[in-house]
Structure 1
Amino acid sequence: MDTLSGFTRPIQICDVTVDTKRQNRKISYAVRTPSSAMGSNDPDKLVAKADKLTKLSLTRWSADWKSATVLYEQAANAFRVARQYENAKEAFEKASKGQEMISSPWDAAKHMESAAALAKELRKWSEVADFYRRASELYFECGRSQPASDALAKGARALEEADPDGAIQLYADACSILEEDNREQMAFDLYRAATNVYIKVEKYADAATFMLKLGLAADKSNATNSQFKAYLSAIVIFLYAHDFKEAEKCYNDCSQIDAFLSSDQYRCASKLLSAYSEGDVEEIKRVAQSSTISHLDNAIIKLARKLPTGDVSSLKTDTKEVEEPLDENDLT
Structure 2
Amino acid sequence: MAQDPRALLAKADKQASSARGGFSLFGGKQDKLEIAADLYTQAANAFRVQKLGREAGQTLEKAAAIQQEINEPDDAANSFVEAYKAYRKDDPSSAARVLEKAIQHYTLRGNFRRAATHQQNLAELLELEIGDIPKAVAAYEIAGDWFQSDNAEALANKVFLKVADLAALEGMYPKAIERYEGVARSSAGNNLMKWSMKDYFLKAGICHLASRDKIAFKKALDSYVELDPSFPSMREFQLLNDMLEADDGGDAEAFADKIFLYDQMSKLDKWKTTMLLRVKSSTTAPKPPLLGCIEEDDDDGLA
For normalisation by structure 1, the TM-score amounts to 0.68
Structure 1 pair 229/301, CA: closer, same or farther in 2 (3 Å)?
Answer: same
Do the aligned partners of residues 219 and 68 (structure 1) sit closer, same or farther apart at CA in structure 2, a change above 3 Å counting? farther
Q: CA deviation at 1:159?
A: 1.2
User: Which residue of structure 1 aligns with residue 101 of structure 2?
Assistant: 134
- Going from structure 1 to structure 2, the CA distance change for 1:311 and 1:268 (only over 3 Å counts) comes to closer
Alignment match, 2:144: 175
Question: Does the C-alpha gap of structure 1 residues 39 and 167 become closer, same or farther in structure 2, counting only changes over 3 Å?
Answer: closer
Q: Deviations over 1:79-135 (max 9, x none)?
A: 334454443212212333555656472x5444322222343334452x333322333
Within the candidate set 99, 106, 125, 1:158 is matched to 125
Higher mean C-alpha deviation, range 153-162 or range 175-184: 153-162
Within 5 Å, give how 1:1-332 maps onto structure 2. Answer: 42-52=7-17, 55=20, 57-59=22-24, 62-64=29-31, 65-97=33-65, 101=70, 103=72, 105=74, 108-125=76-93, 127-139=94-106, 145-160=112-127, 161-219=130-188, 221=190, 223-259=193-229, 261-262=231-232, 264=234, 265-289=236-260, 290-291=262-263, 294=266, 298-305=270-277, 307-311=279-283
Aligned to 2:226, the other structure's residue is in SS state coil
The residue type paired with residue 154 of structure 2 is Q
Bigger RCO of structures 1 and 2 (CA < 8 A, at least 6 apart): 2
The alignment of Structure 1 onto Structure 2 pairs a total of residues equal to 274
State how far apart, in whole Å, the 2-side matches of 1:243 and 1:285 are: 20
AA in 1 matched with 2:100: R
Where 2:83 maps in the other structure, the secondary structure is helix
Q: Distance in 2 between matches of 1:152 and 1:84?
A: 25
- The residue identity in structure 1 corresponding to 2:222 is N
- State the partner residue of 1:319: none
Structure 1 segments unaligned to the other structure (5+ residues): 1-37, 314-332
Q: Deviations over 1:227-280 (max 9, x none)?
A: 332122011122234443443343233333243544523333233323333444
- Give the distance between the partners of 1:39 and 1:224, measured in 2 at CA: 56
Contact 2:187 2:194 in 1 (8 A): yes
- Native 8 Å contact 1:260 1:266 kept in 2: no
2-structure distance, mates of 1:293, 1:190: 28
Query: For the Cα contact (< 8 Å) 1:145–1:177, is it kept in 2?
Result: yes
Match of 1:18 in 2: none
More helix by share: 2
Structure 1 pair 94–41 and aligned structure 2 pair: CA distance change class (3 A): closer
Q: Name the counterpart of 1:34.
A: none
Deviation at 1:189, TM superposition (A): 3.0
Hey, which of these two has a bigger chunk of strand by percent? 1
Say which is worse superposed, 174-183 or 127-136, in terms of deviation.
127-136
Larger Rg belongs to: 1
Instruction: Provide the secondary structure at the position in 2 that maps to 1:255.
Output: helix
Using the TM superposition, give the Cα deviation of residue 185 of structure 1 relative to its aligned residue in structure 2, in angstroms: 1.0
Distance 1:238 1:194, change over 3 A: same
Alpha-carbon distance in structure 2 between the residues aligned to 1:284 and 1:54: 74
Question: What is the identity percentage for the equivalent residue pairs of Structure 1 and Structure 2?
Answer: 21
Q: Which runs of 5+ in 2 are unaligned?
A: 286-303
- Cα drift, residue 170 of structure 1: 1.3
CA 1:292–1:51 in structure 2 vs 1: closer, same or farther (change >3 Å)?
farther
For residues 220 and 84 of structure 1, the distance between their equivalents in structure 2, rounded to whole angstroms, comes to 49
CA RMSD of aligned residues (A): 3.5
Alignment TM-score, normalising by the size of structure 2: 0.73
